[in-house]
Structure 1
């Protein structure tokens, strides 16, 4: 039995090293509540070497730095199902590697998991500490700090090699969180990423040689794929560009036809009803003369008035009384705005579900709650989000709704009612910040991975020996 005075005292955070993985420094969160240690890993792929299963993976060893990339290979010693902090089960590969902590070196088991959203690139669990370490929660880096200068000396400017696909992101604002994440996710997987501003693209329509150009005359004919994130105000031109890329044989994540259908809210809802998907009772009329009947049609006040061109919660009004409903509807119609009148689902209590669908699968879901004083859940207006476990019916509804519109990537909004789940709307350019922050999932990486699968692209693996 090891005596207490023979064990080394460590703090709640410590710098570790894995010489055989080529990782001279990585900061770990020390967690005796976790059984197995875990290291940040992405681009995880298995291969065979001398009949044994191996795994190749890449690591960003320094937190908040996606440019430093270390490629690793280890034999797989196990596969384990691990529950994340959000309660979701995930199957992870397990490898073993010598870890250096202070001046000691010993083998530890590591599960491979994407920890981008976590505070640390590594978690040191209790199995690795047994008979060796004692944790002082008040201590931090008791075995020594690693300076920025040392990190630069260890890693320099090592970056991922670009040997993958050429992917463009067609959008309007390169600085948006969602767009930055997609560009980063593509680059870290070794792809050549390029941002294209919708308004700075132009095209040549030709039956033999159709072209797309970017400002300055740059040809865009050599792209493998285009991620189409078209904001509502440029839908007409953005979908025209998407059609042009499609005519050139370039894969688009969401096609021009799918985006156009999703942007016409009335048509989209009619398609949903035609395909057996339930929505809140909805009315639509053109003339102010029909306002009274329109209100009765959805069960009277309170009710929701929704502009057809609205997005991200804008253009959505709760009319709590009949008089307020008449005023809002007639005011919008005076402005010649097209609108829907929709039944107010009181039992939803200002909450809705956002289901993120990629290629026919719900990859993440959150429950959004309205800010105090608001009636609708909206993260852009002070609302909050939390991980939620959705039912099989809700999952099936989300997948079917995206499929009906032909969207490969979609944010499907659902409301829970006493009559069961009801579809609110489907977004063809869903934001990533709220759902990535709440779930801790790498949604941007999943979108890039879906492009790889669609184009049957695979990363070069080590050759079998």
Structure 2
């Protein structure tokens, strides 16, 4: 007997459980008495206030290796806690308190919300939730009963796992770009049907019962299985609106609208990186500041980088080598009433940066980019040549963590080596393939298609 005056339940190393209050009838949990805190897979987490209490809305993919099934959840937030993972990474997570049903028993537990896509199990049950109630038999598995595919299909009204090819849409602007041509070739080589969808030719019908997305000529796009977004910065707003419509129709998007929006907002992306314990070059932000000297001092003085917040691909980026030059550049941007970033210049990088290509939580290729002789590099890639390089374990971990901070399944993470260690410069949601495929001799396009197959549980012949 225990403090609850009932025998302890014996469970295995993994068990099926449920969270009825947030509409999750079945999720397989890894039982880990070594972990203090329980956690649940959650993405697209948004906070709001209801009756003076902070709540979170979030999406859960409750089944392993299956993103087709999505449950929309809401729960009040009771805390925000810093949790240290088994790999040593620290992450600040929201905490909810919800009833857990396991076997024939039910009790309320505290659960942190985090993206567990790369961890296999969508749920981890820690010892705080088990204290006084559970004994673990590490040799056992699903001792309280297993769920077969038919059971899960009935619970979630899920379609059966498909074995034929997918219908994929490539949402972009230029079908002749190397990256887009390679993705089309890769999808076709693995037996899928892929359509190039020009962003400007897509339009949508907003309706409570029959929402639709149409393509030029009236062709309906609702039957697509997946979308690969390759969005140029100038098309971000409209393209992300289209992606949200596809997401509402249950179409899997390799990078979600929310993830792309976060990565495209330079200031927000830097704040997210810092919130996740990821180091960046020291950066100041202002809207046409009056205290120019203080802004310059913030980042350690000249030389420094001045960037327009709305600039892309190196445009609106200036290296100010002296304090006088920095003052002149900032004052010039003042006249435009522009939002600007002022950033320390990493001199020791010697015109080099790293690009790590991350797919589904793994670094699949990495290159070093070197500026041409005499070319200016403002802590970003502006040309030059690319060469294969083996990144360190720390750099690899940092790239994966940065992509996760943006919730990006596919990302080009740019890093720079400094005296303080590796720093993240930028996380790109539509990274180009040509330079990295050529230098690394890796078929990145196929790896992107395979990531979609994994999420939709498709096996290509």
Common fold: TM-score over 0.5: yes
Match of 1:6 in 2: none
- The aligned counterpart of 1:158 is none
Corresponding residue of 1:408? 409
Spell out, residue by residue over 1:349-388, the C-alpha distance to the aligned partner (whole angstroms, 9 max, x if none): 0100000000100000000011111232899854111011
**Preserved CA contact (<8 Å) 2:288 2:337:** no
Residue 220 of structure 1: aligned partner: 221
Say which SS state the counterpart of residue 287 (structure 2) adopts. coil
Q: Deviation per CA, 1:287-338, whole angstroms, max 9, x where unpaired?
A: 3312221111101110011222222222221111111111212222322332
Contact residue 386 and residue 438 of structure 1 kept, 8 A: yes
CA distance in 1, matches of 2:407, 2:233: 18
Equivalent residue number for residue 101 of structure 2: none
What pairs with 1:286-435 in structure 2 (closer than 5 Å)?
A: 286-376=287-377, 381-435=382-436
State the match for 1:446 in structure 2: 447
The structure-2 alpha-carbon separation of the partners of 1:302 and 1:377, relative to structure 1 and needing over 3 Å to count, comes to closer
- Kindly provide the CA deviation profile for residues 229-270 of structure 1, in whole angstroms up to 9, marking residues without a partner as x: 111101110100000000000000100000000011101111
Residue 340 of structure 1: how far off its partner (Å): 0.6
Q: Distance in 1 between matches of 2:420 and 2:408?
A: 27
Deviations 1:427-447 (A, max 9, x none): 000000110110110001110
Rounded Cα–Cα distance in structure 1 between residues aligned with 2:175 and 2:314: 22
Q: Identify which range, 421-430 or 315-324, moves more after superposition.
A: 315-324
Between the aligned partners of 2:381 and 2:281, the Cα distance in structure 1 is: 23
Find the residue that maps to 1:284 and give its secondary structure. Answer: strand
Could you tell me how far apart the structure 2 residues matched to 1:315 and 1:440 are?
A: 33
Q: Distance in 2 between matches of 1:198 and 1:299?
A: 43
Displaced runs of 4+ in structure 1, greater than 3 A? 377-382
TM-score (norm 1): 0.63
| Secondary structure of 1:226 counterpart | strand
Secondary structure of the residue aligned to 2:290 is: helix
Aligned counterparts, 1:167-182, within 5 A: 167-182=168-183
CA distance in 1, matches of 2:443, 2:427: 21
The answer for the alignment partner of 1:202 in structure 2 is 203
Contact 1:369 1:376 in 2 (8 A): no
Secondary structure at 1:289's aligned position in 2?
coil
**Counterpart of 1:42?**
none
Residue of structure 2 in register with 1:457 after alignment: 458
Q: Give the C-alpha shift of residue 165 in structure 1.
A: 0.6
User: Does the Cα contact within 8 Å between 2:233 and 2:264 map onto a contact in 1?
Assistant: yes
Provide, for residues 166-188 of structure 1, a one-character-per-residue CA deviation record: whole Å limited to 9, x for no partner: 10100111111111111111111
Q: Is 2:286 aligned against 1:285?
A: yes
Structure 1 distance, partners of 2:260, 2:296, is: 30
Q: State the alpha-carbon separation in 2 of the partners of residues 357 and 262 from structure 1.
A: 14
Q: Which whole-Å CA distance do the structure 2 matches of 1:278 and 1:378 have between them?
A: 14
Mapped partners of 1:303, 1:368: distance in 2: 21
Equivalent residues in 2 for 1:52-67, closer than 5 Å: none
Aligned length: 299
Alignment partners' CA distance in 2, 1:405 and 1:297: 26
Q: How far has the Cα of 1:274 moved from its partner?
A: 1.3
Q: Which residue of 2 aligns with 1:71?
A: none
Partner-residue secondary structure (3-state), 2:174: coil
Aligned to 1:119: none
State the distance in 2 between where 1:304 and 1:320 align.
9
Matched, 1:186 2:200: no
Alpha-carbon distance between aligned partners in 1 of 2:331 and 2:179, rounded to the nearest angstrom: 37
Aligned residues of 2:361 and 2:404 also touching (Cα < 8 A): yes
Q: Secondary structure at the match of 2:356?
A: strand
| 8 Å CA contact 2:317, 2:378 repeated in 1 | no
Q: What is residue 265 of structure 2 aligned with on the other side?
A: 264
SS in 2 for 1:285: strand
Corresponding residue for residue 72 of structure 1: none
Give the CA RMSD over aligned residues: 1.6
| Shift in Å, 1:189 | 1.1
SS of residue paired to 1:283: strand
- The separation in 2 between residues aligned to 1:401 and 1:374, in whole angstroms, is 28
1:97 paired residue number: none
Unaligned runs of 5+ in 1: 1-161, 461-465
Q: Is the 8 A contact 2:214 2:220 kept in 1?
A: yes
**Which residue of 1 is the match for residue 54 of structure 2?**
none
Residue 251 (structure 1) aligns with: 252
Does the Cα contact within 8 Å between 1:178 and 1:433 map onto a contact in 2?
Answer: yes
